[in-house]
């Protein structure tokens, strides 16, 4: 099939009407279509949460693991079989809360994967508690007096650690989002794409309209190779405008590039295994 429909499944979606995930899913299918991928060539990894259900609604390989733990298996699967297009598609709580440590180290490790974070500021699956990107002071179930911790800025954090591809998308800007997804997948190395999406049920402040009035696509004047400017842009938020697009970009060696024996030999998945081949390692012990 030569349309995005080759990635369709018959499964009933359990997301609410108006949820940004519907758009995000459609954009991902369109992206994979434009990249000419077939379902068996793609692996989607996710954790737990509303966003993490995405791979069940798209025909591709799927590792739907534990909450917060989508990045480690994604990295490992790519190391073992580099022919797979590996995408982590999961939520803000998953990526920045429960899995925060893996996020930091995925940047350092720089495996060639794309990380799409569905960022709506709330935990939808557990009915509306704040995610790490929720603004300070906002009352939520579980934080009735308002969120007491400051919001995490994932883009600034990623740029501070010199992640090679740092971008922000918005489900209200579909074509723009598809191009960002495409660029993130095509980037060689760890690519972070934080995707703003409304949660019409649990986030009554950051609505589709709220975002539409504030997002500002980065224009040609922005140089994504300029790290300090990129960092400054990553700090912009709220009424002053929210930049979307590729904020920072830098080419650097990937995990596989740094391991010469990985590049020189067959992929680990295709290695022929023979116990006798290991006998040579016993020689020094006689």
Q: Which residues bind another protein (CB under 8 A)?
A: 11, 38-41, 43, 45, 48, 53, 55-56, 59-66, 69, 71-81, 83-84, 101-102, 104-105, 259-262, 265, 268-269, 271, 273-276, 278-279, 281-282, 284-286
Q: Which is nearer to another protein, 125 or 191 (CB)?
A: 125
Rounded to the nearest whole angstrom, what is the least distance from the CB of residue 84 to another protein in the complex? 5
CA quadruple 78, 153, 141, 51: dihedral sign: negative
**Secondary structure (DSSP) of 18-38:** T-HHHHHHHHHHHHHHHTT--
Q: What's the CA angle centered on 19, arms 15 and 25, to 5 degrees?
A: 75
- To another protein, the closest distance from the beta carbon of 105 in angstroms equals 4
Shorter beta-carbon distance to another protein: residue 97 or 169 = 97
- Among residues 192, 119, 208, 183, the alpha carbon closest in space to that of 157 is found at 192
Nearer to another protein, 29 or 78 (CB): 78
Q: For another protein, which is the closer residue by CB, 136 or 269?
A: 269
- Token readout for 269 is 């998945």
Least distance to another protein, CB of residue 96, Å: 15
Sorted by sequence, the CB contacts under 8 Å of residue 233 that are 6+ apart come out as 218, 222, 243, 247
Q: Which is nearer to another protein, 99 or 243 (CB)?
A: 99
Q: Report, in Å, the least distance between residue 240 CB and another protein.
A: 34
Tokens of 284: 């020094």
CB of 252 to another protein, least distance (A): 19
Residue 81: name the closest of 53, 37, 113 by CA: 113
């Amino acid at each position: 099939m030569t349309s995005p429909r080759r990635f369709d499944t018959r499964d009933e979606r359990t997301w609410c009407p108006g949820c940004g995930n519907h758009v995000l899913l459609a954009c991902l299918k369109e992206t994979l279509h434009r990249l000419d991928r077939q379902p068996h060539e793609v692996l989607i990894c996710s954790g737990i949460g509303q966003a993490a259900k995405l791979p069940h609604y798209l025909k591709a390989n799927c590792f739907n693991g534990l909450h917060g733990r989508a990045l480690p298996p994604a990295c490992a699967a790519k190391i073992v079989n580099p022919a797979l297009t590996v995408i982590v598609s999961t939520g803000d709580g998953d990526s920045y809360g429960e899995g925060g440590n893996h996020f930091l180290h995925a940047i350092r490790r720089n495996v060639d994967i794309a990380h799409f974070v569905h960022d709506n500021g709330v935990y939808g699956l557990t009915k509306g508690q704040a995610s790490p990107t929720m603004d300070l002071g906002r009352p939520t179930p579980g934080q009735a007096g308002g969120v007491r911790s400051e919001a995490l800025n994932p883009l600034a954090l990623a740029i501070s650690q010199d992640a090679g591809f740092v971008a922000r998308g918005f489900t209200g800007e579909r074509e723009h989002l598809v191009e960002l997804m495409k660029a993130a997948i095509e980037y060689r190395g760890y690519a972070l794409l934080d995707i703003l999406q409304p949660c019409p049920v649990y986030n009554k402040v950051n609505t589709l309209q709220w975002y539409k009035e504030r997002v500002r696509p980065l224009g040609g004047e922005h140089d994504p190779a300029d790290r300090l400017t990129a960092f400054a842009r990553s700090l912009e938020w709220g009424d002053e405008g929210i930049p979307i697009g590729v904020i920072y970009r830098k080419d650097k060696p990937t995990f596989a590039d740094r391991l010469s024996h990985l590049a020189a030999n067959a992929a680990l998945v295709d290695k022929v295994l023979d116990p006798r081949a290991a006998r040579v390692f016993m020689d020094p012990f006689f």
